[in-house]
Structure formats: C-alpha cells, structure tokens
Amino acid sequence: MAFGLHFETLIHANPTQELLIAFLMFAYLLAIVFGTRITYNLMMKHNFDKGVAVYYNRKIIHIFGAGVITLLFPIVFTGATIPVALALVLVLVIYLPHRMNRILYWFQVQENAYEVNFAIAWGAAIAFSWFFLGDPIYGVIPALFMAFGDAVTGLVRNAVFKRRTKHWIGNVAMLFVCLPIGWYYAGTAGIVAAVVASIAEHFEYKPIDDNILITVTSFITLLILRGF
C-alpha cells in the first residue's frame, strides 16, 4: 500500500466493456430496489408493521444490491472512474425522492435518509481506497461489512423484536458474518476490523448513522494494521 495520488487508477483497461458492465449493474440495482415493492406488498398483506416491512426491504437491498455489486467491483473493473461514477449516480437517484418529498415508500422513510448515507459511505470508501491507496480492497471490505454485516443486524433484530432497535444481538450476528469477510480479504487485520465494525454499528449520532461509523472505523483500522 502506497499512500498518494494514484492517477493511474482513473484509467480503465477496457473502458467500453467496463462502462457496459456499469450500465448492467445499475439496471440490476434498480431491479432490486423496485423489486422490493413486491416484498413490501407481501409483507403488508400478511399484516407486517409498515416500519418492519421497510426495514426488511432495506436489508434485502443491502445484500442483493450493494453486496453483490461490491463483490464484483474489484473483479470486473480495472480502474476507479467508472465504479465511482456509478456510486455517485446511485446517491443522486436515492436522494432525489427525499429532496422532492416523494419518497419510495417501500424502503424509504420521511424521518431519515440513512439509505443515502449508506450509498455515500459505500462510494466514498471505495473511491478513497482506489485513488489514494491504489487498491480498492481497503474500501471493499468496509462496504461488505455494511452490505452483509449490517443487513444481518436488521434481519435478526426485526425477527426477534419486530421493530427497529439497537439490541446487541444484532451486533453478535453481524460479527459472525463480518469475521470471514475480513479474514478472506485482509487476514488478521480484517478480523480486527470486523470486530471494530460490529461494535461501531451499535451506535449512531444523528446525522451520523451506523453506515458511516462502520465504514470510517473499519477503514481506519485496516489502514493502521496494514501499515499506513
């Protein structure tokens, strides 16, 4: 890892092909987002609380949307420009409904825009890692902690308590998911980062939510332990 301005990461080996992949990824993300209208309607049909249905849908999007795409980022892209642009477009797409007061009710709520924070933290981690460290993995790991680990917290807590809560049972579940991710990508440093991220998720200080805390704390941990 060499900290600095890695301008070479702005260049793609196969820009046309990678741009096509980005369009396909964006279409896939939109399909997941709008597909959760179906799961929302099914949950409401079975008398789920509206807040619970929305929260479940957010976690579905975390896993099958952001999680899958994040796994593919370092495999299909040879540079940072296109994936970062994709992240910026995604931020805009999910922020505009809040701005226009026309939220996508099946996964968004009026009282917060935490899903926007997720997209910002997700894109920022990968952009910073790629451009300043020359390697996307340092951003991919925190992004995966958010996408899969944080998703599991919501699924477990919703299943147990039927409401949004910060009970530690969710953090324990997150740890079990994040540990193998951290180990696979970064060894011992990844394990420590997984523990830090799983603890950080328990807290939020509006407008700073757990998405930002997971990303920042695990990213800094990786930088320290991997020789920054």
**What pLDDT, on a 0 to 100 scale, did the predictor assign at position 165?**
78
Q: Kindly indicate the confidence band of residue 89, based on its pLDDT and cuts at 50, 70 and 90.
A: very high
Residue 205 β-bridge partners: 208
Distance CA 113, CA 121 (A): 13
Distance CA 116, CA 120 (A): 6
Tokens of 82: 């296109």
Residue 227 has pLDDT above 80, yes or no: no
What rounded mean pLDDT belongs to the chain?
92
- Mean pLDDT of the 89-109 span: 94
pTM of the model: 0.93
Pick the closest to residue 227 from 63, 52, 1 (CA basis). Answer: 1
Write out the H or E segment, with its range, that includes residue 137.
Answer: helix 137-144
